[in-house]
Amino acid sequence: MSSSDNPAGLIAELDGIDGLEAEVGVPLSGYATFRIGGPADCVVRVHNQSALEALLSVTGRLELPFEIVGLGSNVLFPDEGLPGVVAQLAGDLASFRFQGTRVTAGGGMTLARLAKQSAAQGLQGLEALAGFPSTVGGAVFMNAGSYGVEIKDVLVEATVLERDGRVRQLSPEQLEPSYRQTNLRGTGAIVVSATFQLQDGNAEKALQRIEELNRRRWASLPSGRPNAGSIFRNPEGDYAGRLIEACGLKGACCGDAQISPEHANVIVNNGRARADEVLELMLQARRAVEERFGVQLVPEVQLLGPLRERWRSALGRGETGPR
């Protein structure tokens, strides 16, 4: 069954679950920093864990596609939109609480806000991650990192909800974190909360460090045009942007999508870029770098829906990009 077959029936079923807000036919471009994406069959804001468990039960029973998105800063939605349900964590799942030098936050909590609130409390450890455009759940899921600090360095435990309804508490070691990934990828598991161990420090200095690092971060990225940040992961010992620029692709365009003239590992939307245009530039960069340097760039941006298959088919390999 697709929710597009009977959207009213799906909404009626979801309306019976406390803690859910559901809408039909919502353009996904409004949920992505790329400002690209067609309509979703159904977008749901989920306010607590029991509501999320109920939602997964419904989508599982009806065999509906299900995607969970955070700030939309690391995703490329397809032009034709997505079938099924797209969910976003809110309410209790976007709250936080301090316990001494530890802070526990819901998966939907903005990482930048958590870092600033912690710094304001005189707790240090998240400053380098304050400019990372992610929710807590997304950051744990991909082991986000910036300026030499990774989530695993401060993570104590993550609470994870499996698609079959099981709830697990996982240590950093159990997540097997590495560069921009954990073993949660491809499992469908959802990080509903995480606890971090911070250190006592000086609030003023911590907030100043956040401002300093954010200035450095934003100075290195294109401003004023929608984008999703880094398109490819950096290969070991090198930088994706350097390799792409060396191939002469800086500033290359496909429709309204462009490899940024300022940073070759960023693709910008110059107005009405389509997902297929972004994908074409990604493929051009991937092929050029592999041909010249023998390096196979791996997407850092998540390719959702049919974009995964288009990427894999174009390369003729079983590679889909990160999940």
Active centre residues (catalytic): 180, 230, 300
DSSP string of 271-318, one letter each residue: SS--HHHHHHHHHHHHHHHHHHH-----B-SEE-THHHHHHHHHHTSS
For residues 122 and 201, is the Cβ–Cβ distance under 8 A? Answer: yes
Dihedral pair phi/psi, residue 159, rounded to 5°: -95, 125
Tell me the CA distances in angstroms from 147 to 211, 213, 283, 306, one per residue in order.
Answer: 13, 8, 28, 34
In angstroms, the CA 55 to CA 204 distance is 42
284 within 8 A of 56, measured Cβ to Cβ: no
Nearest to 6 by CA among 70, 75, 58: 58
SS3 94: helix
Question: Locate tokens 């929608």: which residue?
Answer: 226
Return d(Cα 137, Cα 94) in angstroms, integer: 10
User: Can you tell me the distance from the alpha carbon of 220 to that of 98, in angstroms, rounded to the nearest whole number?
Assistant: 33
122: exposed, middle or buried (Cβ count in 10 Å: 0-12, 13-18, 19+): middle
Residues 6 or more apart whose Cβ sits within 8 Å of residue 298: 232, 233, 235, 319, 321, 322
- Phi/psi of residue 291, nearest 5 degrees: -65, -40
